[in-house]
Amino acid sequence: MKHLAYLNKFFRKYQWRIIPGILFVILSNYFGVIPAQVIRMAFDLVKENIALYRLFNGFDRQALVYELFGYSLLFFGALVLLLALIRGLFLFLMRQTIILTSRHIEYDLKNEIYAHYQQLNMAFFRRNNTGDLMNRVTEDVSRVRAYLGPAIMYSINTLVLSLMVIGAMFQVNAKLAICALIPIPILSIVILFINKIINQRSESIQQQLSILSSFVQETFSGIRVIKAYSRETVKKQVFVDESVAYKKVSLSLVKVQAIFFPLILLLIGLSTIITVYVGGTEVIQGSITSGNIAEFIVYVNQLTFPAMSLAWVTSLVQRAAASQKRINEFLKTEPEIKSGTKKIDFSGNIHFKNVSFTYPDTGITAIKNLSFEIHPGKTLAIIGKTGSGKSTIARLLMRMYDVQEGQILIDNTPIQQLDLHGYRSIIGFVPQEVFLFSDTIAKNIAFGVDELHMETVEDAAKKAVVYQNIMAFENGFETFIGERGITLSGGQKQRVSIARALAVHPKILLFDDCLSAVDTKTEEEILQNLSQVIQDHCVIFIAHRISTIKNADHILVMDQGQLIEEGKHDALLAAKGSYFELYEKQLLEEED
Ligand SMILES: Nc1ncnc2c1ncn2[C@@H]1O[C@H](COP(=O)(O)OP(=O)(O)OP(=O)(O)O)[C@@H](O)[C@H]1O
């Protein structure tokens, strides 16, 4: 329960909706209880009038008595209807306030979690899988909403209704009240017990459903591989097995649900029998009227709802507490990368000073005592075997992680002191694994800018040598890509990604092995175009191919996190070290 305390701030925020809501609950219950008394009066009236009618047997007046009796019954009927309408109005207002508030809080909470997610750093996203992250914003928030809305509404309702009904029962006759109430606690316990089983089984259904949907999602994403390896039958069998498991748990739930309602009806029926029996003896003794029995039957039936909702509300609150605990775990995770305050006016100097870095989650030391400097308008290239730490340098430069030793200075200011948002917005980053959104090509290219200007988009596409490809599509820049659209080739994707980086007019251009899927001729063309744009930029090329980087002003050769050689292309070749070996190897590969 302590986890749910987090939500109290929302109760304070929406108090002027919740307080009237509580008032409406009380009023709706009040108008729900009064009809029982009206029914009692009507019942007694019927009895008295029948006696009166018989008294006038054989007289003319009998017809008048009959007429009067009819009118008064009509009046009582109309009164019950009117009371029901008033109750309905308050029920409507109760939902409009309390349930509506729960939707407002759900909205606030979702936004809060989403905004928090965006502040958290990469290590957090690596630790938690996407399904889990999504569940907390969707499933968990819905469960919390069930507590904020229905659970709270029905708890107040149950409390108020029980107090009013039980109070009214005792007012009529304490003995009858006690007898009629005996089955109710048993009913509550039974419901509580069955509800627990229902919850456990629903939980298993949910789990099985999520296994099933993850499986389907993965098969659809990997459909090409499945088809290529002819694994359709195997996958189908797995699906059938999982579906059978799902059917089994679903049927087990249906079984419990099937006995749930008959059992409740049985216990209510028991209560009614007791009421009629004990009530009958009381009527014989003259302590109550037969109208009171009718009144009591209505009360007993009214108590069914609180008895049922007690169990239901308990499970809603338990589930919400578990969900809020999970949400709190995330909300209390502090972003490790905190923005500095210094606004950047980048003049083009980047300095890595004895930098060492170990990935916190795996303990892999990816960079060891690395130092280098980039000057305004110059191009730096980083080359090396896979896993030598090249992409890590890019991540550190974008401050996705903080270094453990050494310093990264941007225009002589430690990177930690810079305003992170401003700093990252001067970088045009092209990642190794291209990610394009399911949207138009134009919007993908203009992703990093606030307003989409077609000239900028087209210009960037031309520089990235993808303009002709895009224009060849029927809808040009409006072509939809991704899940519901066309699939771009690997090289086209890389070039759209390059255009995206160029469209933000960055001061630092960071290319992480982004020309690997492009043929050497196109690569040459892109590099040619870039050489025109990059005059006043800092450009960092991470590459595997020497052809990509041979014209760079400075080349770093990395191996196992260490800088093993550096210099210009010609000097490195002349040194006949690792760079030279790599060059020879790539020359041979080309000749093959
Ligand atoms: N997010 C991460 N968490 C933990 N370890 C990582 C992470 N990313 C990379 N590593 C590890 O750090 C080392 C350097 O990886 P990095 O991605 O920088 O290499 P790379 O030189 O860019 O390789 P490639 O050329 O194959 O892209 C590798 O051993 C890798 O397993």
- Report DSSP letters for 16-74, one per residue: HHHHHHHHHHHHHHHHHHHHHHHHHHHHHHHHHHHHHHHHTTTSTHHHHHHHHHHHHHH
Distance of CA 166 from the midpoint of ligand 1 (Å) = 69
Note the CATH number of domain 339-426+507-515+537-592. Answer: 3.40.50.300
Q: Is the CB of 127 under 6 A from ligand 1?
A: no
Distance of CA 388 from the midpoint of ligand 1 (Å) = 7
- At residue 413, the 3 state secondary structure works out as strand
93 beta partners: none
- Nearest atom within ligand 1 for CA of residue 395: 18
Q: Is the CB of 388 under 6 A from ligand 1?
A: yes
Q: How far is CA 523 from CA 53, 543, 550, in A?
A: 107, 12, 12
Q: Is the CB of 433 under 6 A from ligand 1?
A: no
Using CA atoms, how far apart are residues 410 and 414, in angstroms rounded to an integer?
6
Nearest CA to ligand 1 atom 17: 391
The secondary structure of 431-480 as a DSSP string is -SS----SSBHHHHHGGGSSS--HHHHHHHHHHTT-HHHHHHSTTGGG-B
Distance of CA 338 from the midpoint of ligand 1 (Å) = 23
Q: Is the CB of 359 under 6 A from ligand 1?
A: yes
Q: Is the CB of 121 under 6 A from ligand 1?
A: no
Which residues are CB-contacts of 10 (< 8 A; sequence separation ≥ 6)? 105, 108, 109, 148
Is it true that 339-426+507-515+537-592 and 433-505 share their CATH fold?
A: yes
Distance of CA 576 from the midpoint of ligand 1 (Å) = 27
Give pLDDT < 50 ranges for the chain: none
Top CATH class, 433-505: alpha beta
Query: What is residue 377's DSSP assignment?
Result: T
Token pair 């960037």 is found at: 460
Q: Which pLDDT value is given to residue 447? A: 92
Q: Is the CB of 389 under 6 A from ligand 1?
A: yes
- Nearest atom within ligand 1 for CA of residue 558: 21
Using CA atoms, how far apart are residues 284 and 125, in angstroms rounded to an integer?
75
Q: Which pLDDT value is given to residue 226? A: 92
Cβ-based neighbour number of residue 466 at 10 Å: 26
Q: Does domain 1-172+321-336 have CATH number 3.30.70.580?
A: no
* Model confidence pLDDT, tens digit, residues 479-520: 988 766 677 888 888 889 999 999 988 889 899 988 777 777
ipTM computed for the complex? 0.95
Q: Which pLDDT value is given to residue 590? A: 66
Q: Which pLDDT value is given to residue 417? A: 93
Enter the pTM of the model: 0.75
* Model confidence pLDDT, tens digit, residues 437-467: 888 999 999 998 888 889 999 999 998 888 9
- Nearest atom within ligand 1 for CA of residue 123: 1
Query: Could you tell me if residue 476 is left (phi over 0), alpha (psi between -120 and 50 degrees) or otherwise beta?
Result: left
Distance of CA 392 from the midpoint of ligand 1 (Å) = 6
Do β-strands 554-559 and 508-512 pair in parallel, antiparallel, or remain unpaired? unpaired
Q: Is the CB of 364 under 6 A from ligand 1?
A: yes
* 134, two tokens: 């999504």
Domain ranges of the chain: 1-172+321-336, 174-287, 339-426+507-515+537-592, 433-505
- At residue 262, the 3 state secondary structure works out as helix
Q: Which pLDDT value is given to residue 592? A: 59
